[in-house]
Structures are given as structure tokens and as C-alpha cells.
Amino acid sequence: MLYQGSCHCGAVAFEAEGEIDSALACNCSICRRKGSLLWFIPRDKLRLKTPEEAAGTYTFNKHVIKHRFCPTCGMHPYGEGIDPTGKAMAAVNLRCVEDIDLDSIPVHHYDGRSV
């Protein structure tokens, strides 16, 4: 299935392809503050509809995850990283995806604070 999403003001927009079967809620220092519900997909299944330069990038700690955000409205629609097998991945913030029922998606809790 193809989903549409964006930041609040629309300056960072994307489409994501796949089946949303679950979301991840992480308690690390940044995810806890953002309140994201993350859906992980291969990076090539996330296609930007706006220029990549429209999104700012924040990295911290080991600098392995690019937390992408809109410099205008501050929303954080997705992140980028590499999975343990070396595959490029995207972490889509499901709160930024249009026309989905978040209450129907099972949420798995991840203890990122302890990692």
C-alpha cells in the first residue's frame, strides 16, 4: 500500500510503500521527547515529494541515525539509518502519515534508553 505523509506545514512531504503491521515506541532520550510512533521500512520505499534539502538533520550519540525534521514547523516525519545487516532503512513517524487509524496499529515498546 502507498501512504502519503508530511510535516505539519507541508514543507517536508513523502510517500511510503509497505504494509503497516506494527509501530515502535522507543524510550530513548530523543524518541521519548518527540513521542513518535515509528514504522520501519527499507529506505528505497520512502520517496520524498519535496527536495531533500527541505529537511534538516539532527544526529547525536553515536551519529548513526539521521533524525530528519522540518526547520519551519519543527515536525520530525522520518529518520534514516542502517540496520544491523547493513541495509538502508527509514523510520517513518506514523503520526505524520495521512488517513491511518493509529489506534488500530499494535505498538511495541522498545527500551532504547538502556541500549
Any alpha helices (H) in the chain, and if so which ranges? 29-34
For residue 60, the model assigns a pLDDT of: 87
Task: List per-residue pLDDT tens for the chain, 115 residues long.
Answer: 999 999 999 999 999 999 999 999 999 999 999 999 999 999 999 999 999 999 999 998 888 899 999 999 999 999 999 999 999 999 999 999 999 999 999 999 999 888 8
For residue 61, the model assigns a pLDDT of: 82
For residue 64, the model assigns a pLDDT of: 86
For residue 63, the model assigns a pLDDT of: 86
Question: pTM value?
Answer: 0.94
> Domain residues of the chain, as ranges?
2-110
Alpha carbon 3 to its chain's center: 13
Q: Which CATH number fits domain 2-110: 1.10.10.10, 2.170.150.70, 3.40.50.2300, 1.10.4080.10?
A: 2.170.150.70
CA dihedral 109→64→94→102, nearest 10 degrees, is: 0
Cell numbers of 75, please? 515536525
Closest CA to 112 of 69, 61, 76, 75: 61
For residue 62, the model assigns a pLDDT of: 82
